[in-house]
């Protein structure tokens, strides 16, 4: 049976084996369920863009370990040379300011540039910490989703067994039709509960992606 992008659907993993079969894509999670061995960013996470929060346009990652807002990096890198140029200009061109020595002005400009750099580093650390928490939560949710898939498959197997003519005949032969109905209702109730949990996890995963 062909589905997503003309690929063959794998009923055991609930997804499609892409990338020469090395990466399983889940259409439900809209994520790759395994690490990308060919990714230059260590294990690659659950997809190749995990290193930049799924947004390779607005985030970059020079170290391969944590995302940094591209605009913030550009602003910081632009600000540092400007500050340095201003320091040199004040030292070498504004010599008429005799009440303040060039060395003192240079120290002030270096301190100002250092404070700007410290602010940028603080923002970077805060963003990296938030990204790490989101990654850990997403990993936990995906593991829980896989557990629910397994449990859902077991329930469906029990339901199919219960619906078989042999099982119904056995319950009827021993006058246990009421127990049969209770078992049937219990399985259906469990299937509904599993579906609700899966929908809640999918919603949370979509919120994290934003």
Task: Please write the tens of the pLDDT for every residue from 134-158.
Answer: 888 888 888 898 999 899 999 989 9
What share of the chain has pLDDT > 70, as a percent? 46
112 pLDDT tier (thresholds 50, 70, 90): low
Residue 72 and residue 196: Cα distance in Å, rounded?
Answer: 40
107 pLDDT tier (thresholds 50, 70, 90): low
88 pLDDT tier (thresholds 50, 70, 90): low
Greater pLDDT, 162 or 36 = 162
Place of tokens 């990654």: 135
Task: Please write the tens of the pLDDT for every residue from 13-39.
Answer: 777 776 566 667 777 776 666 655 555
Residue-range domain boundaries for the chain: 35-209
pLDDT of residue 2: 53
């Amino acid at each position: 049976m062909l589905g997503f992008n003309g690929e063959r659907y794998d009923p055991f993993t609930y997804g499609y084996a892409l990338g020469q079969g090395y990466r399983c894509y889940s259409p439900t999670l809209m994520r790759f369920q395994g690490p990308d061995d060919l990714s230059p960013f260590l294990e690659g996470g659950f997809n190749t863009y995990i290193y930049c929060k799924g947004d390779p346009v607005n985030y970059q990652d020079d170290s391969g370990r944590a995302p940094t807002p591209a605009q913030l990096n550009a602003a910081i890198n632009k600000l540092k040379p400007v500050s340095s140029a201003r320091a040199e200009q004040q030292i070498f061109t504004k010599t008429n300011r005799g009440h303040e020595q060039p060395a003192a002005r240079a120290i002030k400009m270096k301190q100002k540039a250092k404070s700007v750099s410290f602010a940028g580093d603080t923002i970077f650390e805060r963003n990296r910490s938030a990204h790490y928490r989101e990654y850990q939560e997403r990993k936990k949710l995906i593991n829980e989703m896989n557990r629910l898939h397994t449990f859902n498959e077991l329930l469906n197997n029990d339901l199919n067994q219960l619906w078989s003519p042999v099982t119904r005949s056995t319950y009827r032969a021993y006058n246990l039709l009421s127990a049969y109905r209770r078992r049937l209702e219990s399985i259906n109730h469990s299937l509904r509960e599993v579906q609700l949990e899966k929908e809640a996890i999918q919603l949370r995963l979509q919120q994290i992606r934003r």
